[in-house]
Amino acid sequence: MSNDDEIRPFRLDTPEEAIADMRRRIAATRWPTRELVTDRSQGVQLATVQELARYWTTDHDWRAFEAKLNALPQYTTDIDGVEIHFIHVRSQHEKALPLIMTHGWPGSVAELLGVIGPLTDPTAHGGRAEDAFHLVLPSLPGYGFSGEPTELGWENGRIARAWAELMNRLGYPRYVAQGGDVGAAVTDAMGRQGPEGLLGIHVNLLAGAIGIKDQLPAESEQERAAHDALNTFTTDGFGYFLEQTTRPQTIGYSLLDSPVGLAAWMLDHDTDSYYKISRAFVDGEPVGGLTRDSIVDNVTLYWLTGTGASAARWYWEFGRFLAAASAAGQAPPAVSVPVGFTTFPGEIWAAPRSWVETVYPDLAYFNEVDSGGHFAAWEEPDLFATEVRAAFRPLQKS
């Protein structure tokens, strides 16, 4: 890895003019007419986005979120030509296990804030001292407060190598890794690279299922339901994925020009999370951590950092990498560390154990829980933390 090893403190101080400009743009939105259906089959519903916009300009307090972030230890460091932002919270428990967690799209470090307390201070959240973690939460390259890559090649493998370098710079000779969504793909790459010091990984999305769906079991009712969900995604929920995998620059112009356009694009991710988020705004009934404030915090972070296009480019890199590997007939190397997996019922495709074992034959931990969806750490932080503790408990003692 190139660049010096300096780690610099980071503090967020948003210019007031940037906030005022955002609000002016929201107020100047040209609205489409209402959708002609009663569900989300034509996209994000007008009532949902208009209520989000109203809340954004009248009730949301960005400064409160800014203060929440600034209350946490934040840093930046240059790795392989990109400035990487990360939150680093050390546990008070001396024998805590270092854990690097990676967010996804359309998320950010904002989606992981709810698990900081349960993971770093388990005794205050129903856990044991020996379940504690030192937590490292990096912003993906091109996301949030990290810099944008200025050259091609920042796919999962390169990010995984950067994360290994980050943990090395922080002085952690042994650690574990966790991720969902994009973070699951990066964490999977870390497990396959097996950098020195990595003890194990935990993921909550079977990210590779799309590419091998013809190889996944379809005998049981649960397996057939998972196939149905995966097929639904690839035929009727694939819009954002296809656009960002093929033309991220094109959608990027809209994402950096219209706050409301950005918000709608981010909400149109998956059916389960969309209806939960819609319920928070339209009905005033949030589900777990998916509150109006936390949702708008995350969208505002994307807007103020101007990362709509650069974040979308990860999908382009991902798609090109998979296509090249497929054309070359290259199978990925085996994962070289223990793997834990948790299936949350509201996930885009809730992977059965048989599917997970197809991808990870030496699966070390598996559990299916009763609540939570794609944004599991955000929606159900306590349940999510319980799963992370359980998956890594054997490694805590190693």
Q: In whole angstroms, what is the distance from residue 172 CA to residue 43 CA? A: 45
Q: How confident is the model at residue 398 (pLDDT cuts 50, 70, 90)?
A: low
Give the pLDDT confidence of 209-266 residue by residue, as tens digits: 988 999 999 999 999 999 999 999 999 999 999 999 999 999 999 999 999 999 999 9
* pTM of the predicted model over 0.95: yes
Task: Find the catalytic residue in 240, 315, 360, 365.
Answer: 315
Specify the CATH number of the domain 7-395.
3.40.50.1820
Q: Are the beta carbons of 325 and 381 closer than 8 angstroms?
A: no
User: Rounded to 5 degrees, what are φ and ψ at 339?
Assistant: -120, 135
**Is 55 one of the catalytic residues?**
no
The size of the chain, in residues, is: 398
**What end-to-end distance do the CA atoms of the chain give, in Å?**
29
Give the pLDDT confidence of 260-283 residue by residue, as tens digits: 999 999 999 999 999 999 999 999
What is the distance, to the nearest Å, from the Cα of residue 66 to the centroid of all Cα atoms in its chain? 20
pLDDT at residue 2, rounded to an integer: 46
Task: Find the catalytic residue in 80, 121, 181, 297.
Answer: 181
What is the distance, to the nearest Å, from the Cα of residue 321 to the centroid of all Cα atoms in its chain? 20
| Position 397 pLDDT exceeds 80 | no
Q: Which residues contact 364 (CB under 8 A, 6 or more apart)?
A: 200, 338, 339, 340, 391, 394
**Is 315 one of the catalytic residues?**
yes
Give the pLDDT confidence of 58-89 residue by residue, as tens digits: 999 999 999 999 999 999 999 999 999 999 99
| Position 3 pLDDT exceeds 70 | no
**Is 275 one of the catalytic residues?**
no
Element (H, E) at 329: none
Q: Are the beta carbons of 144 and 113 closer than 8 angstroms?
A: no
pLDDT at residue 262, rounded to an integer: 98
Give the pLDDT confidence of 150-184 residue by residue, as tens digits: 999 999 999 999 999 999 999 999 999 999 999 99
Task: Find the catalytic residue in 60, 85, 88, 374.
Answer: 374
Preceding peptide of 106 cis, ω within 30°: yes
Give the pLDDT confidence of 285-326 residue by residue, as tens digits: 999 999 999 999 999 999 999 999 999 999 999 999 888 887
Q: How many CB atoms lie within 10 A of CB 221?
A: 8
Give the pLDDT confidence of 320-372 residue by residue, as tens digits: 988 888 788 888 899 999 999 999 999 999 999 999 999 999 999 999 999 99
